[in-house]
Amino acid sequence: MPEPNPDLKLDSSTQLAGVLGYPVRHSLSPAMHNAAFRSLGLNWVYLAFEVPPDLLPQAIAGMRGLGIQGLNLTIPHKEAVIPLLDGLTDAAEQIGAVNTLFWDGGRLLGDNTDAEGFLRAVREAGVKPAGQTVLILGAGGAARAVAYALANTNCRLIIANRTLERAVALAEAFDAEATEMTPESLRRVLPTVDGIVNCTSLGMAPHTETTPPIEWSVVRDTAWVCDLVYRPLQTRLLSEAAARRLKIIDGLGMLVHQGALAFERWTGLPAPVEAMRRALTPRD
């Protein structure tokens, strides 16, 4: 039986936010956002809503009808939600996916905070990516957000994917180079890169033994390595990079910062980033 939460006080003024996904029970967003609301003493609550794809239109209509103040979107709704909205931010339009819904003068708009969240995370780690050559592993939605972010900092991008056609499609959108994610193809490009970003699910629990086929002997000793996977925080990729004494960036920073940007969209207040991070940091 769940323990009562003495900090949770709901009344007729409580504002509601949440996340839509299918599945969504694994989401860390409720813990992160509710910690943020408590930190600032806001009368808000954040819930997870498991919404099958065929019920997404009804869920968005419910947001409008009930006055829900903000929503996050995760798989499989990030693209399907677009025609249900009144408009998109430039980032969401360029990336072609939405992870945050917010109100602007009575209009329901879609934003994508993944791109700026990624940039904040790498800069927080001491990396200045502007003008660098970066290898992006993967060609899905996360890779597209990272490519958008880095392209706007004048990076040279190399997109590697197991399916070359998807790498080519993403590369064409951001004036990048495309290659297959094979040991041979990666060995050719790795000596030229300043940074590596894993946007695939390789290394994610429960398949923690999996990892992209990186030949570390050809990677520059000044390179940085970022893994967007955050379960576990120390993936096999990051462990191997750390063994080579490379700078590593785990997936927690992007998760926190994309959430902080959504929080600011909804509340108009600076996000309590450290409170959000503490809510997601494993404790001994």
DSSP states of 54-109: GGHHHHHHHHHHHT--EEEE-TT-TTTTGGGSSEE-HHHHHHT---EEEEETTEEE
Beta strands 107-111 and 44-50, pairing class: unpaired
Q: Is the dihedral of CA 28, 224, 239, 147 positive or negative?
A: positive
Longest dimension (CA), the chain: 61
Residue (of 121, 155, 118, 114) closest to 135 by Cα position? 155
9 catalytic per annotation: no
Assign 3-state DSSP to the chain and report helix, strand, coil percentages, each to 5.
40, 20, 40
Considering the candidates 9, 78, 128, 247, report the single residue annotated as catalytic.
78
Instruction: Please tell me what DSSP assigns to residue 190.
Output: G
Residue corresponding to tokens 């839509």: 20
* Separation CA 90–CA 84 (nearest Å): 17
Determine the angle formed by the axes of helices 252-267 and 29-40, rounding to 10 degrees. Answer: 50
**Paired residues of 196 in beta bridges:** 135, 225
Nearest to 23 by CA among 54, 63, 51, 57: 51
Report the amino acid identity of residue 72: N
Annotated catalytic residues are 78
